[in-house]
Amino acid sequence: MPLYFLSLEHIKLQSIFGKEKGIKIAQIFGLISGWGFFLFLFGIWISPQPKFNISILNYNMIILTFFHYSLNIIHLIVSIPFILIGAWFGITGVKEITLKVAETHRPEKIITTNIYTRIRHPQYFGAILSHLGISILLSSLFSLILTPIIILLIYLMSWKEEKELLKEFGIEYKDYKKKVPMLIPRLRRKIFEK
């Protein structure tokens, strides 16, 4: 989390290390923290932990066993929508802002089109949904129990990101924040007024 926060402080890093070096340091911190967060989630999903079971009418059919995981068909059915919708939000968000910006946390402008008219942080929303889906798919009890903490971490990351975006883009980002929700997408289309 500290590396992530530092990766967002472009102005501060540039004032300390100079423009070019500050940008490079922020990019490195962004790459490390982004991949680090993914590995953190991955570790939570696959770590040894108690398994839970969703049974409907006492129907617990195991459909696939690999390594030490058994996939229950009910878990598969319940998890697929979370994983697919989460992946869609994440991929759509990254496509809109570009992979470079997603990895380095260094936007050159505010994106206010397509998915970004409905939610300010589609990748984070997608991460939450995918985390839930994968936790259900793998029957990972502790992973599921940790979901509120994951949501809190993602909220803190979003909050810090927005704090820095306000410093960099000022009133333009402040206006955008007023129009678009942070982490829960607006389902119906709303055309920007003003």
Query: Which CATH number fits the domain that encloses residue 163?
Result: 1.20.120.1630
pTM: 0.85
132 found inside a domain: yes
Residue 85 is predicted with a pLDDT of: 98
Query: Average pLDDT, stretch 55-66?
Result: 67
Q: For all residues of the chain together, what is the average pLDDT?
A: 86
**102: Cβ contacts below 8 Å, ≥ 6 apart:** 34, 93, 94, 123
Q: Could you give the CA distance from residue 130 to residue 67 in angstroms, rounded to a whole number?
A: 22
42 found inside a domain: no
**76: Cβ contacts below 8 Å, ≥ 6 apart:** 63, 137
The boundaries of the domain holding residue 61 are: 49-179
Residue type, 65: T
Which stretch of 54-58, 87-91, 175-179 has the lowest confidence by average pLDDT? Answer: 54-58
Q: Could you give the CA distance from residue 11 to residue 112 in angstroms, rounded to a whole number?
A: 23
Residue type, 185: P
